[in-house]
Chains A and B, each alone.
Chain A
Amino acid sequence: MTDAVAEQDKRRTGSSPDSPAAPAPQGELLRSARFRVEREGHWRRLDELVVRAEKAGPASLSYDETRELATTYRQAMNSLSVARDISLDRALLDYLETLCARAYLVVYAPQESIGGLTGRLLSIGIPQAVRRSALPLLIGFLAMVLGAVAGYVLFTGDPGWFYTFVPPDLADMRTPEASVDYLRSTIYGNDFDAAETLAAFSSYLFSHNTRIAILIFSLGIFLALPSFALTFYNGLVLGAFFGMFAVKGLGYDVFAWLSIHGVTELAAICIACAGGARLGLAVLLPGQRTRRDALREQAHDAVKLVILAALMLVAAAFIEGFLRQLVQDPKMRLAIGWGIGALWLAWLLLAGRSDEKQANEARGGSAP
């Protein structure tokens, strides 16, 4: 590559004012112009390949073309390196800079395949992330439980608290003044008949709950306090709601009614809060790292937690939309709700164990 550069130029400094419009003989070209003429074909070829790879992904290139991409990429990088030293042609430099930047992205930052990704996430990524997040999970569940206990205690002390905690559109007609019979009818009532209505209802709930979960998670970055507060508030609503039924002697029925979907749904909210707590803890207690590094590292597990929360919310929405109305027996409701809860737990505790050892060993080897 550098022979053209190393070649000594014997001509004296001065212009060669022959008409530049006519193709000048090779010897009359500037060295940098000759450099360009010799290599332009390779660059154009690389340009073509890069454009195709950008449009349709590197998978659209054939075996030979991929090899060609690698070769022409190295040639272009080489040219760029040389051109920076020998050429003052701005057009050439700009072209090579951008071409090499684009080719670099195609060669070193290609797209991840989406297929294997999902499988890996479900079988290994999420369960391991959960097992690594004991403290944040404790914070998440603690927020919910404390909220529920506080809500219950406050409500039994003064039913007026109910109106403070529970937003009117959620409570609907279910207020402390409602009769026992009416409250019972909301638990066992079957006012949703058509399956289509159920689907609509469950998609609404899913969309609503997921948004809350995402909010709880992403607010965690503000030192985890908003996540904790929101989850605590959810707990307050739950406690007051439960208390309202409990004082009317419907405690067991409402527990079963809440269990069937609530085990999954409330756990999902707590897990989203745990994800937020991981972010908040990274900002609060970054340890030896800078806050930004800590945040980036913690975000890996935090994001997996929130994906898990979203999955659980999808499941919860289906259960809530269909099963809650279709299954009326409280025992069945309890069995289904806690049974599904046990399945979640089994998945999260047992999946991806064998890879974990290897991962830990690898990490132990590389980490300082």
Chain B
Amino acid sequence: MSRRVRDRKRLEGYLPPEGVPISFSIASIGARFGAQVLDIALTYGFIILLVYAMVTTGALPIEAMFALIMLCVFLIRVPYYILAELVWNGRTVGKRIVGIRVINAEGRRLTPHQIVARNLMKEVELFTPVTMVFTVDAMSGLGVLLTLVWVLAVLIVPLANRRRQRLGDMVAGTIVVDNPRNVLLPDLALSLPAQGSVPHVFDFLPAHLDIYGRFELQTLEKVLRDPVRGEEPPDFGQISRTIIRKIGYADPVRPGQERAFLNAFYRAQREHLETLRLFGNRREDKFHSAPGS
């Protein structure tokens, strides 16, 4: 299993029978905490609604009501998580909202045994310590110390291992990953509008294109895409001036044509680097010609 870190994300790699390695990014602690909080809020909210509805309507005798509520309070603990993950293949309601899911750490089918095992441990990792924290006032010094050690031990485990597995995940052999979401953005080499008022011809010599590598090209691609809403549009003038200086581009680029220049440069640079790739020359970044690399 290959282990890589890209973009500060922790990746877990798998090799399917097709022989093309694929990877999932491990869900962040924040996302998992959020999903857990959502699940708790939803389940307990459901109980409160149920009690409220039964008290206001008075449809059931008091004993039946008590029995029903006791049953529900039991069900929203471990059984809820087991059922939800069984039905939705590793996603509780909270996980669905946050966009994470449980997968088998071996990359195969998530078995019911794993779901049961990882959620049974929730009792020891979550419910009991939380209950103890709430009753900490009534405890002796030893009790407080025990609670503290317990909570710390449970919290440290997912922080201390690379795949952010909690105890239940280790027992069950599962990991929690970001549910991959995919959007196919348009190909810049096809869709870029010519923004200069006059179609202008920019010619690049091979020397101009030998400066940058893959990383710079993909950074430029990011910049050229329509900015995410709320972000300031990048300063194309500044970027194009920097590029012109670095690659030693001699022809003049008139003000107002920076965007068109960048588009043309992106296209030419990509074509150049892709051609080099075909011949086995993979230029990862601008340091490709530095000695020793």
Binding site for B on A (CB under 8 A): 5, 9, 13-21, 24, 29-33, 36-37, 40, 43-44, 47, 57, 74, 77-78, 80-81, 85-92, 94-95, 97-102, 104-105, 108-112, 114, 117, 194, 196-197, 199-200, 203-204, 206-207, 210-211, 214-215, 217-219, 221, 279, 292, 295-296, 299-300, 302-304, 306-307
Contact = CB atoms under 8 A, between A and B. Distances in A.
Contacts of B173: 296
A108 B73 contact: no
B121 A218 contact: yes
Find the residue from A81, A90, A197, A300 having the highest chain B CB count within 10 A: A90
Contacts of A47: 182
Contact of B194 (A21, A31, A221): A21
Contacts of B124: 215, 218-219, 221
Nearest to B168: A218
B170 A32 contact: no
7 contacts: A9-B278, A15-B267, A91-B221, A100-B22, A102-B182, A112-B112, A296-B173
Given A95-B183, A218-B120, 19 more contacts: A13-B275, A14-B268, A17-B203, A29-B189, A47-B182, A85-B278, A88-B270, A89-B270, A97-B23, A98-B181, A109-B109, A114-B86, A114-B112, A199-B64, A203-B67, A279-B171, A292-B170, A295-B170, A296-B172
B244 to A, nearest CB: 14
B86 to A, nearest CB: 6
B59 interface: no
Interface stretch (B26-34, B47-55, B100-108): B100-108
B180 A20 contact: no
A112 B71 contact: no
B167 A91 contact: no
Contacts of A9: 275, 278
A314 to B, nearest CB: 11
Contacts of B87: 114
A43 B182 CA distance: 11
Interface stretch (B13-21, B136-144, B229-237): B13-21
B274 A30 contact: yes
Interface in B36-93: 61, 63-64, 66-67, 70-71, 73-74, 77-78, 86-87, 89
A102 B183 CA distance: 13
Most B C-beta atoms less than 10 A away, residue of A29, A74, A94, A112: A112
B211 to A, nearest CB: 13
A196 B116 contact: no
Determine chain A's interface SS by DSSP, over half rule. Answer: helix
Interface in B259-293: 263-265, 267-268, 270-275, 277-278
Contacts, number: 228
B170 A296 contact: yes
Given A15-B202, A77-B18, A105-B103, A88 B273 contact: yes
Interface string B98-130: 000001100111111100110011011000100
Contact of A36 (B123, B187, B200): B187
B108 A89 contact: no
B151 interface: no
B184 interface: yes
B274 A88 contact: yes
Contact of A197 (B19, B63, B193): B63
B238 interface: no
